[in-house]
Amino acid sequence: MRKVMALLLALLMPALLLSGCGGTAGTKEARTVPTVAKAQKQKITDLVGREVEIEVPVQKVVAIGPGALRLVTYAEGASMVVGIEEIEKKPSPGRSYMLAYPDLKKLPSIGQGGPDTAPNEESLVGVKPDVIFVCNLVDKEKANQLQAKIGIPVVVLSYGDVTSATTSFNENLYRSLSMIGTIIGKEKRAQDVVAYLRQNEKDLAERTKDVPAGDKAKVYVGAVSSKGAHGIEYTQAKYPPLVFIGAKNVVDETGKSGSLMIDKEKLISWDPDILFLDAGGYALVTDDFKKNPAFYQSLSAVKKGQVYSQIPYNNYTTNIETAFADSYYAGKIIFPQQFQDIDPIKKSDELYQFLLGKPLYAEMVRDYGGFKKLELGR
């Protein structure tokens, strides 16, 4: 009987070892099990209403057009990018996502890039992405044509209208982020980013909602950066950092929205209490001051020393975290009581850290001087 039992044990032992945790064969078998979700075909409706079928999650992506790559980095997709536009490789002060991920510049070029260029089909095919994210570059018809021609799914994103009477960012931006998260397998991260952006919008609005309109200082923002540097006459109606905090932007009385050039004499008639200058155009303003100091010295904001900086947030479309940082700093200046708990530098680094994984305020100081009071003529 003992011999029979021994024989049975001998026969069963290999099977026991294979089914156990410690067996060599069992370990080898376990290593073949995928650690990531199996790709499944899914239909995605993009921001121009196109239904695109994609095997998600994808492993390799490219992002073309103003702002597309930025949104991918917010969703922690930088490691999946296999090529970037040539315009992204050029020196880009203030382009925060490229400061956070400088190694992206080492990737192959996928075309010139820029708002007025056509996608480079040959270069896109050459890096073999699983999906092409595109923003502000193609319409529905052109997106369909590009996808049909190169055989790679094309997903159109959108920032929406970044200047409106109620908010600076609309649902299209949040839909775009959520869509990227779904496609690259970073749903939770995308949800967290959307929640964080909404949280900051709400916080800014809540702080000043009870301030009577008659108690608000008149504010003007000059030298606003937009496709380059400009002088004090270049401004923006519905300037997002001021919209967030419900500030009284004197330019809003024009009934317009977006960037515009004003007559310098109009600034005298508005005579703002507080003057903000975009650091991107500050050198032009100081040059103009030397030529015409009387004009500037006639402004109440200059007389009272109420001139402050803003960090340019427009660089290949909106650097969202910098726009929020500008808003918190503007709030600290315009509504000191409502923002007394805010340290603009710490808040800026919090924004950069959350959205891009790196505190970048020191980089902004290097490029633009950071947040500070400005003394024209000195």
* Alpha helices per DSSP H over the chain: 2-19, 24-30, 68-74, 86-89, 96-100, 121-126, 140-150, 171-184, 187-208, 240-244, 264-270, 282-291, 293-297, 300-303, 320-334, 344-356, 361-368
Q: What six digits make up the tokens of 24?
A: 């060599």
Bridge-based pairing state of the strands 274-278 and 307-310: parallel
3-class DSSP state of 15: helix
Residues in Cβ contact with 116 at an 8 Å cutoff, skipping those fewer than 6 apart? none
Residue type, 257: S
Question: b/e map of 78-96 (b: 16 or more CB within 10 Å)?
Answer: bebbbbbbebbeeebebbb
Round to whole Å and give the CA distance between 48 and 46. Answer: 6
Weakly modelled stretches of the chain, pLDDT under 70: 1-37, 161-169, 378
What angle, 0 to 180 degrees and rounded to 10, lies between the N-to-C axes of helices 361-368 and 344-356?
A: 110
pLDDT in tens, 164-187: 444 446 789 999 999 999 999 999
Q: Where in the chain are all domains bearing CATH 3.40.50.1980?
A: 40-202, 211-368
Round to whole Å and give the CA distance between 115 and 79. Answer: 24
Instruction: Give the DSSP letter string of 33-83.
Output: S-SSPPPEEEEEE-TTS-EEEEEES-S-EEEESTTHHHHHHHTT-GGGB--
pTM: 0.88
Superfamily per CATH, domain 211-368: Nitrogenase molybdenum iron protein domain (3.40.50.1980)
- Fold classified for 40-202: Rossmann fold (3.40.50)
- 315 within 8 A of 94, measured Cβ to Cβ: yes
Token look-up 């530098």 returns 345
pLDDT of residue 371: 98
CA angle 222, 326, 98 (to 5 degrees): 105
